[in-house]
A and B are shown apart, each in its own frame.
Chain A
Amino acid sequence: MEDEDQQKLTDLVKELVLRLLSHGSPASAPPNPNSPHFQASLRYAVRILSSRLTPSVTPDAAAIAESIKRYLATHGKSSQALTFADLYTKFASKTGPGSVNNKWAVLYLLKIISEDRAKNELDSPSLLPNLESFDAELGDKSRVSQDRENGKMGWDKGVLLVSKDPENLRELAFKGYADLVKEENEVSEEVLVRDVLYACQGIDGKYVKFGTIVDGYILSDIVNVPRATRTMVRKLCELGWLFRKVKGYISESMDRFPAEDVGTVGQAFCAALQDELSEYYKLLAILEAQSMNPIPLVSESANSSNYLTLRRLSVWLAEPLVKMRLMAVLVDKCRVLRGGAMAGAIHLHAQHGDPLVHEFMKRLLTRVCSPMFEMVRSWVLEGELEDIFAEFFIVGQQVKAESLWREGYRLQSAMLPSFISNSLAQRILRTGKSINFLRVCCEDRGWAEAASEAASAAGTTTRRGSLGYGETDALESLIDEAAKRIDRHLLDVMYNRYKFKEHCLAIKRYLLLGQGDFVQYLMDIVWPELSEPANTIGSFKLAGLLESAVRSSNAQYDDPEILDRLRVKMMPHGTGDRGWDVFSLEYDPRVPLDTVFTESVMAKYLRIFNFLWKLRRVEHALIGAWKTMKPNCITSQAFMKLQRAVKVQLLSTLRRCQVLWNEMNHFVTNLQYYIMFEVLEVSWSNFSHEMEVAKDLDDLLSAHEKYLNSILEKSLLGERSQALHKSLFILFDLILRFRSHADRLSEGIHELQARTSESSLASRDKNKSRRRVNDGPSETSSWAADGRKALTQRAGEFLRNMRQDLDSISKEYTSLLEGFLSQLPVQQHVDLKFLMFRLDFTEFYSRLGLNKS
């Protein structure tokens, strides 16, 4: 086939030559194929054909057709152009056997031939000088090279026709372009690229320097570069600016570290930034190596594929730009922050949707938060607060042992990072506090096992560096475990070693007068003492009395440790105070119980004690009064001897006295009952129930507060019950006055009785003596008669006075009690309906009130 083709080729060429020659010579005689002219032409033709084997245009038939059309159109032959277009479409649509395969070749051929012909026809010497001058004008900016065989240019109706010549036009055009580029740029692109790379590391290059006024890396204006390049350089130098900022911050922090201005978190942040920067440096090193390769201009083919232009640089630097921007933003944010606040601020920035950003921030945060997590771990598992730079969100201060729990440690929310919630922080605080409390106040070592158990249960170890950012769940579980175990341990210690419950119970029995027999006995012994003025009472005596009271009641079987703590307290007194006003009992809680029973708590207990003690005193007084009012004192034979009027008076007075006593007794008894049972016992049962379910010391403290406050409120000692409290105390005073009156009455009656019995005795004696001695002195009878009358008179007077007093007391009492009872239902902050119910069971008082109104 090859040979066939070759043969066909040769034949065709011969044929062509023949035809051309015959066409050329106007002679009608066909040329002789064997003529030397023909042979020479053939040889020449073959030479030409073999010299150029590759076309210089792309084999695109449509493009060639387009150019032909344009050529036709510009030459004013538009109708022919249309025709040509039509023809071309038809020609192009011919496919299949028999059609032309290389359509483009045909078209191209036609085009060239026609152009040649056109050119040849226009060949006139007059154009040549113009052409030469034209060449000179264009100079070296011409797009056509000078060395042409047919370097002629033709003009056709004002349009420049560029000749097609054997040389490859495109390459020459590109070379011309390259010259232009070199002309425009004073600085080559390679140098600029290298400068930009320097700028990205914060170093000034040859042309790109840092302008402090502009605050950026700029290419100075004197350098002659096209604007596009300038803009590109500017954009790439943003990276340099950001880098400078980040590096500046890092070196600043390093300098400040010895001054203890930058904390561990800040240090960790700097270290993380430096790691990121080292990645960046690696990239820059690779780019610099590449930038050493020369950049090929368009005409030359690239000798190595790794060259670096500004465009390629911008592609490479796109990702580091994003990261650097992030770092710069963080640096700005964190310049003034420290510790937990810094970690929190960075965490806020990490809430980002872009996974690249998210990954980056997560890496950063893991490094930054590790000192924080370390601090948390050591705090929670060991109670150690190693915080030199004050970055932790828990601060401790030096306080006495008893306020260690309440005030020794507190939360500093400024330093609390945002990924640790408030409740978690509270738990952390409590756990560490418990460990410290155990260590300091309870001198207990057992918490260490609890801590290590907690750590193993949570899956981490007690070593350093086992927790990290992003593992908030692990942190939470660790803290939960630790908190649970340590709280339990603490409560165990409180209950078992320090017998918290027993002490509370003891306080209730002694300070709140729960131990009835002890209180009764104490009251009995101490009563005469306390009636003296306050400054004459010696506390030693009272202590001795307390001792004897303890010994003679069931209290003696109590735990000696508890009894140890019970003692008498004399409050500071002024003149005119009686012993009653200054006497109180005291219980001494020691470490660690004084966390619960602080000074203020004990003061509250004291108030309640005083109230209860007064109530007891009143009760005791009434009982004493009752003792003297027993009927058998009155009904003695002397009574019978009294005169009738006196007898009646006496009876009525006595009756009145008894009625009043009954009322007062009813009131006091019910009040006592209400206080003892409805207030104290109920609150105690609530409190002991809460003690059962308390999970930690905070719970215990709050339960105790609640218990105490409820007692205070319900026994009308609160602030809002002051009016009620005052009226109650006035009632108490009245009752005590009544007691003194009753005492006086009974004394008077006794005296009367004594007198009457004396006089009766005397009269009996007289009678006896009268029988014996006839002539006895009549003075005795007269004296006796005198005495009896005086006695009666005096008795009557006395009794009248008594009755008046009693009346007044009774009136006062009734009105006061009514006032008191009317105030009871109005109280809104404490529910006194049970008290009212007891006091006014039969609605006697309320009906009384109704009747009056």
Chain B
Amino acid sequence: MDPEAARTARESLDLAFHMSNILDTGLDRHTLSVLIALCDLGLNPEALAAVVKELRREPSVSVPATAPPSFP
């Protein structure tokens, strides 16, 4: 990535992190960057949010084990 793009990316991330802090999402920078990347790739943000929510829950919640899904 050229320095320009890198700078833009960094600034965008900063802004997003700031926003996320205002909204009190509890996401750290790294996680946020991953999420942003996933969004860019076109995943449904609702689904991502659901993933975040689920996986943030107490580990006591059992995760239903099903057949391994395949990506479409």
- Using a CB–CB cutoff of 8 Å, the interface residues on chain A facing chain B are 5-6, 8-10, 12-13, 15-17, 19-21, 23-25, 37, 40-41, 43-56, 68, 72, 77, 80, 83-84, 87-88, 90-91, 94, 96-102, 105-114, 116-118, 120, 166
15 A/B residue pairs, CB under 8 Å, sorted by A: A12-B38, A16-B35, A41-B63, A43-B69, A55-B46, A68-B23, A72-B22, A98-B6, A98-B8, A98-B9, A100-B36, A101-B40, A102-B39, A113-B20, A118-B24
Q: B12, A113: Cβ atoms under 8 Å?
A: no
Most buried by A among B7, B9, B34, B45: B45
Q: B5, A96: Cβ atoms under 8 Å?
A: yes
Q: B18, A87: Cβ atoms under 8 Å?
A: yes
Do A113 and B25 form a contact, CB below 8 Å, given A12-B34, A12-B37, A47-B66? yes
Cα(A98)–Cα(B14), bound, Å? 13
Q: From residue B48, how far is it (CB to closest CB) to chain A in Å?
A: 6
Q: B56, A20: Cβ atoms under 8 Å?
A: yes
- Tally inter-chain residue pairs, CB-CB below 8 A: 190
Do A112 and B56 form a contact, CB below 8 Å, given A50-B69, A91-B15, A99-B9? no
- Of B5, B15, B53, which is within 8 A of A97 by CB? B5
Do A46 and B69 form a contact, CB below 8 Å, given A16-B31, A106-B36, A113-B52? yes
A-B contact sample (15 more), CB < 8 A, given A43-B65, A97-B8, A110-B25: A41-B55, A43-B68, A49-B48, A50-B72, A51-B47, A52-B46, A53-B44, A96-B5, A99-B9, A109-B48, A110-B20, A110-B23, A113-B25, A116-B52, A116-B53
Q: B19 — which chain A residues lie within 8 A by C-beta?
A: 84, 87-88, 91, 107, 110
Cα(A98)–Cα(B5), bound, Å? 4
Q: A15, B34: Cβ atoms under 8 Å?
A: yes
Q: B38, A9: Cβ atoms under 8 Å?
A: yes
Q: B4 — which chain A residues lie within 8 A by C-beta?
A: 96-98
Cα(A684)–Cα(B34), bound, Å? 127
Q: B69, A112: Cβ atoms under 8 Å?
A: no
Cα(A37)–Cα(B61), bound, Å? 11
Q: B69 — which chain A residues lie within 8 A by C-beta?
A: 43, 46-47, 50
Cα(A117)–Cα(B57), bound, Å? 11
Most buried by B among A55, A83, A112: A112
Q: B37 — which chain A residues lie within 8 A by C-beta?
A: 8, 12
Q: B25 — which chain A residues lie within 8 A by C-beta?
A: 110, 113-114, 117
Q: A15 — which chain B residues lie within 8 A by C-beta?
A: 34
Q: B38, A16: Cβ atoms under 8 Å?
A: yes
Q: B1, A98: Cβ atoms under 8 Å?
A: yes
- Of A10, A20, A106, which is within 8 A of B45 by CB? A106
Q: A19, B34: Cβ atoms under 8 Å?
A: yes
Cα(A118)–Cα(B25), bound, Å? 9
- Contact residues of B: prevailing secondary structure: helix
Q: A98 — which chain B residues lie within 8 A by C-beta?
A: 1, 4-9, 12
Cα(A12)–Cα(B30), bound, Å? 11
Do A46 and B71 form a contact, CB below 8 Å, given A91-B12, A98-B1, A100-B16? yes
Q: A118 — which chain B residues lie within 8 A by C-beta?
A: 24
Q: From residue A500, how far is it (CB to closest CB) to chain B in Å?
A: 110
Q: Which 6 A-B pairs have the closest CB atoms?
A: A98-B5, A114-B23, A112-B49, A98-B8, A98-B9, A105-B39
A25 and chain B: residue at smallest CB distance: B59
Q: B20 — which chain A residues lie within 8 A by C-beta?
A: 110, 113-114
Q: A45 — which chain B residues lie within 8 A by C-beta?
A: 51, 54-55
Cα(A17)–Cα(B35), bound, Å? 11
A68 and chain B: residue at smallest CB distance: B23
Q: B49, A116: Cβ atoms under 8 Å?
A: yes
Q: A49 — which chain B residues lie within 8 A by C-beta?
A: 43-44, 47-48, 51
Q: B56, A110: Cβ atoms under 8 Å?
A: no
Q: B53, A113: Cβ atoms under 8 Å?
A: yes
Q: A43 — which chain B residues lie within 8 A by C-beta?
A: 63, 65-66, 68-69
Q: A8 — which chain B residues lie within 8 A by C-beta?
A: 37, 41
Cα(A602)–Cα(B18), bound, Å? 125
Q: From residue B16, how far is it (CB to closest CB) to chain A in Å?
A: 6
Cα(A16)–Cα(B52), bound, Å? 9
Q: B8, A44: Cβ atoms under 8 Å?
A: no
Q: A48, B51: Cβ atoms under 8 Å?
A: yes
Q: B31, A19: Cβ atoms under 8 Å?
A: yes
- Of B45, B51, B56, which is within 8 A of A55 by CB? B45
Q: A53 — which chain B residues lie within 8 A by C-beta?
A: 44, 47, 72
Q: From residue A116, how far is it (CB to closest CB) to chain B in Å?
A: 5
Most buried by A among B22, B40, B54: B22
Q: A68 — which chain B residues lie within 8 A by C-beta?
A: 23
A36 and chain B: residue at smallest CB distance: B65
Cα(A120)–Cα(B57), bound, Å? 10
Q: B59, A108: Cβ atoms under 8 Å?
A: no
Q: B57 — which chain A residues lie within 8 A by C-beta?
A: 24
Q: B31, A91: Cβ atoms under 8 Å?
A: no
Q: A99 — which chain B residues lie within 8 A by C-beta?
A: 8-9, 12
Q: From residue A17, how far is it (CB to closest CB) to chain B in Å?
A: 6
Q: A91, B16: Cβ atoms under 8 Å?
A: yes
- Of A40, A56, A110, A117, which is within 8 A of B46 by CB? A56
Q: B71 — which chain A residues lie within 8 A by C-beta?
A: 6, 9-10, 46, 50
Q: B7 — which chain A residues lie within 8 A by C-beta?
A: 98
Q: B68 — which chain A residues lie within 8 A by C-beta?
A: 43
Q: From residue B55, how far is it (CB to closest CB) to chain A in Å?
A: 4
Q: A23, B56: Cβ atoms under 8 Å?
A: yes
Q: A48, B38: Cβ atoms under 8 Å?
A: no
Q: A100, B53: Cβ atoms under 8 Å?
A: no
Q: B39, A109: Cβ atoms under 8 Å?
A: yes
Q: A48, B50: Cβ atoms under 8 Å?
A: yes
Q: From residue B47, how far is it (CB to closest CB) to chain A in Å?
A: 5
Q: A20, B40: Cβ atoms under 8 Å?
A: no
Q: A113 — which chain B residues lie within 8 A by C-beta?
A: 20, 23, 25-27, 49, 52-53
A164 and chain B: residue at smallest CB distance: B46
Q: B36 — which chain A residues lie within 8 A by C-beta?
A: 100, 106
- Of A96, A97, A110, which is within 8 A of B16 by CB? A110
Do A84 and B26 form a contact, CB below 8 Å, given A52-B47, A98-B1, A116-B53? no
Do A44 and B54 form a contact, CB below 8 Å, given A8-B41, A87-B18, A110-B16? yes
Q: B63, A5: Cβ atoms under 8 Å?
A: no
Q: B12, A100: Cβ atoms under 8 Å?
A: yes
B11 and chain A: residue at smallest CB distance: A94
